[in-house]
Amino acid sequence: MANRSSEKGEPTTSSPEIVPRTRLTRRAFLGVVGAGVGTLAVGGLTWKAVQGGVFATGTGPAYAAWDALGAPGDATLALVSAAVLAANAHNTQPWLFRVSPDRIDLFADPTRTIGAMDPLLRERDLSLGCALENLVLAGPAHGLATTVALLPEASDPTHIARVNLGATATAASPLYAAIANRHTDRNAYDTSRTVALAQLDALGALVDTPDVGLAWFVRDAEKATFGELTLRATEAIIADPQQATDDYAWYRSSWDEIQTKKDGITIDPSGQSALIRALSKIVRVTQQQNNDGWLNGMRTIQVPTAAAFGAIVVRNPTDRIQRLTAGRAWQRLHLSATNAGLAVQPICQVPERIDRETTAGLPADFTTAMTSLLPSGTHAVMTFRIGHPTTTALRSPRRPASEVLL
Ligand SMILES: Cc1cc2nc3c(=O)[nH]c(=O)nc-3n(C[C@H](O)[C@H](O)[C@H](O)COP(=O)(O)O)c2cc1C
């Protein structure tokens, strides 16, 4: 339809199809503003996404230690580079190393603890055992034989190990080769596949000393009992203000903080969906949201998709040598599982509640329940799930060797 014009050549309002200039102008104005705001919003969101590391998963200084392992350099330092990639509680990385040409001394860093989540420092000792295992595995790969003395100085409880170095033929073991590929897998596991008993036995054989062993929960009834106990322990931690606060203190939500501190629990390896991970990097996650996500993930993904659960057990959970040995065993088990294409995740809420009960004078609820699941005379120092992976587990941040030297 042809437009009609007034004498002045301006549109009139005589036809509803002819839009008056004032309205046109306003609408156009609003359109421009709207488009501008939209562009700004998208631009702002994109900027926030970039700032939050949405497009940079697993990169930057916080993750460089994972690529440094194979890089040429000093052989002795290479052992420390392997050690820092070990599993460790809350990614606190509670270690320090003193390096000399013929020896490496491993110390606990007393500032890197998780308070009421680990009141007896059980998990710290296990973590140090994990680091020691990687360090020892790296020896032959760099032509160095290692001789380990645990807790070599009675007067210094932070002196965890003295590792004397000698020469040996260079040979990288399969477990050493797995060090940079090992990641805690918090994603769903493949529920259509079980883990063969022979595979579980082979992993169990890696955890076999007089005082340290492995208990598997494979049958439906024991899996259900342990799964329920773990969910209840998760709820108990969330309901315990001190444990919940100390747990959240190691949660790193900003990309800047992750890249600066290079430690702590981060969203990428949490097992959450890609969308939740992206949103969590854009909008700061509160303690409440963190707890909700944790409990929901445990309830809907981590417990129900486990092919089996396991517990590393010791005769005396306060014996530090047994704890360190258990940590070394966990690291070996995780590396071996990685090579076998299996996924594992420590889920230690039950031992964490047991230690809390012991130190806070609480009723022995979880202590009693866990004892009834285990062989007599043994105590769980680490509990975990195992299964076949459904996706690639992501890296967690690490401080490089250069930042953990004394
Ligand atoms: C003693 C110990 C206890 C742990 N407890 C848990 C746990 O309860 N839940 C969990 O998701 N991961 C747990 N982990 C795994 C650590 O969070 C993980 O090793 C750390 O964040 C570094 O990540 P990475 O293993 O992928 O390198 C534990 C690890 C150790 C050594």
Tens digits of per-residue pLDDT, 203-257? 999 998 999 999 999 999 999 999 999 999 999 999 999 999 999 999 998 999 9
- The length of the chain is 406
Is 41 a member of any domain? yes
Q: What is the structure's pLDDT at 38?
A: 54
Residue having the nearest C-alpha atom to atom 3 of ligand 1 = 89
Q: How many domains does the chain have?
A: 3
Is 9 a member of any domain? no
| Domain shared by 211 and 359, yes or no | yes
| Domain shared by 233 and 321, yes or no | yes
| Domain shared by 341 and 292, yes or no | yes
> Looking at residues 151-173, what average pLDDT do you find?
97
> Looking at residues 55-65, what average pLDDT do you find?
91
Q: What is the structure's pLDDT at 42?
A: 58
- pLDDT, tens digit, for every residue of 351-380? 999 999 999 999 999 999 999 999 999 999
Confidence of residue 348 (pLDDT cuts 50, 70, 90): very high
Is 47 a member of any domain? yes
Phi and psi for 311 in degrees, rounded to 5? -140, 130
Instruction: State the closest ligand 1 atom to the C-alpha of 349, by its place in the atom list counted from 1.
Output: 8
| Domain shared by 27 and 148, yes or no | no
| Domain shared by 48 and 73, yes or no | no
Which residues does a 6 A CB cutoff place in the pocket of ligand 1?
87-91, 123, 126-127, 130, 183-184, 186, 269, 345-349, 382, 396
Closest CA to 287 of 351, 349, 242, 256: 242
Instruction: State the closest ligand 1 atom to the C-alpha of 395, by its place in the atom list counted from 1.
Output: 26
Instruction: State the closest ligand 1 atom to the C-alpha of 90, by its place in the atom list counted from 1.
Output: 17
Phi and psi for 203 in degrees, rounded to 5? -70, -40
Domain that holds residue 157: 61-179+398-403
- pLDDT, tens digit, for every residue of 111-135? 999 999 999 999 999 999 999 999 9
Residue having the nearest C-alpha atom to atom 13 of ligand 1 = 346
- 329 is written with which tokens? 């065993």
Residue having the nearest C-alpha atom to atom 1 of ligand 1 = 123
Q: Which mutation among 66, 179, 184 tests ligand 1's pocket best, with the greatest number of atoms within 8 A of CB?
A: 184
Domain's final residue, options 34, 52, 70: 52
Is 375 a member of any domain? yes
Residue having the nearest C-alpha atom to atom 21 of ligand 1 = 91
CATH of the domain at 372: 3.40.109.10
| Domain shared by 360 and 224, yes or no | yes
- 217 is written with which tokens? 């929960």
Is 12 a member of any domain? no
Ligand 1 centroid distance, CA of 343 (Å): 13
Ligand 1 centroid distance, CA of 89 (Å): 5
Is 1 a member of any domain? no
| Domain shared by 383 and 272, yes or no | yes
| Domain shared by 326 and 379, yes or no | yes
**Mean pLDDT over all residues of the chain?**
90
Q: Which mutation among 57, 88, 262, 270 tests ligand 1's pocket best, with the greatest number of atoms within 8 A of CB?
A: 88
| Domain shared by 143 and 233, yes or no | no
Q: Which mutation among 272, 295, 348, 382 tests ligand 1's pocket best, with the greatest number of atoms within 8 A of CB?
A: 348
Ligand 1 centroid distance, CA of 346 (Å): 6
- pLDDT, tens digit, for every residue of 280-322? 888 888 999 999 999 999 999 999 999 999 999 999 999 999 9
Helical axes 349-360 vs 220-239, angle rounded to 10°: 50
Is 7 a member of any domain? no
Ligand 1 centroid distance, CA of 81 (Å): 19
Q: What is the structure's pLDDT at 278?
A: 87
What span, in angstroms and rounded, lies between the C-alpha atoms of 114 and 230? 19
Ligand 1 centroid distance, CA of 45 (Å): 32
Instruction: State the closest ligand 1 atom to the C-alpha of 85, by its place in the atom list counted from 1.
Output: 27
ipTM surpassing 0.90 = yes
Is 114 a member of any domain? yes
| Domain shared by 296 and 232, yes or no | yes
> Looking at residues 5-19, what average pLDDT do you find?
34
Domain's final residue, options 52, 70, 94: 52
145 with 168: CB under 8 angstroms?
yes
Instruction: State the closest ligand 1 atom to the C-alpha of 124, by its place in the atom list counted from 1.
Output: 1
Ligand 1 centroid distance, CA of 406 (Å): 25
Ligand 1 centroid distance, CA of 184 (Å): 7
| Domain shared by 237 and 314, yes or no | yes
Per residue, the 3-state secondary structure of 205-271, as one string, reads CCCCCCCEEEEEECCHHHHHHHHHHHHHHHHHHHHCHHHHHHHHCCECCCHHHHHHHCCCECCHHHC
Residue having the nearest C-alpha atom to atom 9 of ligand 1 = 347
Q: What is the structure's pLDDT at 197?
A: 95
Q: Which residues pair with 106 in a beta bridge?
A: 97, 161
- Dihedral (Cα; 81, 86, 90, 96), 10-degree rounding: -50
Q: What is the structure's pLDDT at 11?
A: 33
| Domain shared by 219 and 205, yes or no | yes
